[in-house]
Structure 1
Amino acid sequence: MADLLRDDVKTFLDPDLMGALPDVVVPGTSVEDWPAVLDLVDGSGWGCRYSGGAAELPVPRAEAVLSRPAVAECAELRVRPAAEVLAIFRFHSAEEIDFDVDLRELRGQGRLDVLCGFLTAIGRRLGKPVLMCGEGDAPGHPVLGFDVGRDRVEPLVADAAEAEAGRGGPVCLPLSQGEASAEASRRP
């Protein structure tokens, strides 16, 4: 059975609301967690492509990618747990594991199931939650993620429709460009 039903979380998979590349973070990580993630990617059979600047390279050991000079172009690892599901790791920090997922590709229940399996694999390997926030919102307001204690991916806030009807808790959805401008003009 699927962790999530697409109809129950469709708001959180909408690129117009969440941004095309929402942020996924694994809180509480350290430099020691990166090798586990790279080993998982390497041993999973998932498609992957690593690049350091313009050059495409073999997936390196964690120590090599994390010891790149600060002035070097940001390294990027594109992982495809299925042909139509993309996660992009960008190695911004040795102490933080974060990546983006491409919501434009997440059409249908099958692709959502692949994403849930991917988040679950990372969460289980690290023994930590894996949280998805709107694009540019991490670690702000996660909307769904892998819960270690429950061993599943689930919504972390109420669906927007339920909240509007008064049946759910607060919804932490990113503001659209127009709403963000209006909100900013109301602040003192």
Structure 2
Amino acid sequence: MTLLTVWPDPDLEWMIRPWAVEEILSDVDLYQTQGQERLDAFCRFLRTLGDTLQKDVSVYSEGDNTYPPMMTYDAAAGRVSFLAPARR
């Protein structure tokens, strides 16, 4: 499978995997998004990407590509939402 790795912040690695034409699926190491400043930077990046491509952007916890994603940028609503259910 093709993989694209992007660093929206020097210490934040975001991995993208092609999945479907209508959405971008990706994962991120949750430890790299800790702290409000880093989380804000990542959310700005998701918004810029989603708005530019006019597509939803789904983000999974690193190594976990089961549905639903932990967070998503909804291009129609223009916002990032956290969806992760509590771990059992």
Pair in the same fold by TM > 0.5: yes
C-alpha separation in 2, matches of 1:156 and 1:122: 19
Higher relative contact order (CA 8 A, sep 6+): 1
Which SS does the other structure have where 1:75 is aligned?
Answer: coil
Partner residue of 1:82? 9
More strand by share: 2
C-alpha separation in 2, matches of 1:128 and 1:98: 11
Pair 116,102 (structure 1): closer, same or farther in 2 beyond 3 Å: same
Which SS does the other structure have where 1:122 is aligned?
Answer: helix
For structure 1, the residue ranges without an aligned partner over 5 or more in a row are 1-73, 158-171, 176-188
Per-residue Cα deviation, 1:13-64 (whole angstroms, up to 9, x for no partner): xxxxxxxxxxxxxxxxxxxxxxxxxxxxxxxxxxxxxxxxxxxxxxxxxxxx
Do structure 1's residue 122 and structure 2's residue 49 form an aligned pair?
yes
User: What count of residue pairs does the alignment treat as equivalent?
Assistant: 85
C-alpha separation in 1, matches of 2:49 and 2:27: 14
TM-score, structure 2 normalization:
0.71
For structure 2, the residue ranges without an aligned partner over 5 or more in a row are none
1:131 deviates by 2.4
Is contact 2:24–2:57 with CA below 8 Å preserved after alignment?
no
Do structure 1's residue 111 and structure 2's residue 38 form an aligned pair?
yes
Pair 132,173 (structure 1): closer, same or farther in 2 beyond 3 Å: farther
C-alpha separation in 2, matches of 1:90 and 1:121: 18
Pair 174,122 (structure 1): closer, same or farther in 2 beyond 3 Å: farther
C-alpha separation in 2, matches of 1:75 and 1:131: 17
Is contact 1:129–1:146 with CA below 8 Å preserved after alignment?
yes
Pair 130,90 (structure 1): closer, same or farther in 2 beyond 3 Å: closer
Which SS does the other structure have where 1:136 is aligned?
Answer: coil
Which SS does the other structure have where 2:3 is aligned?
Answer: strand
4+ runs deviating over 6 angstroms:
none
C-alpha separation in 2, matches of 1:102 and 1:146: 17
Do structure 1's residue 147 and structure 2's residue 74 form an aligned pair?
yes
Which SS does the other structure have where 2:42 is aligned?
Answer: helix
Counterpart code for 1:127:
Q
Q: Which has the larger radius of gyration?
A: 1
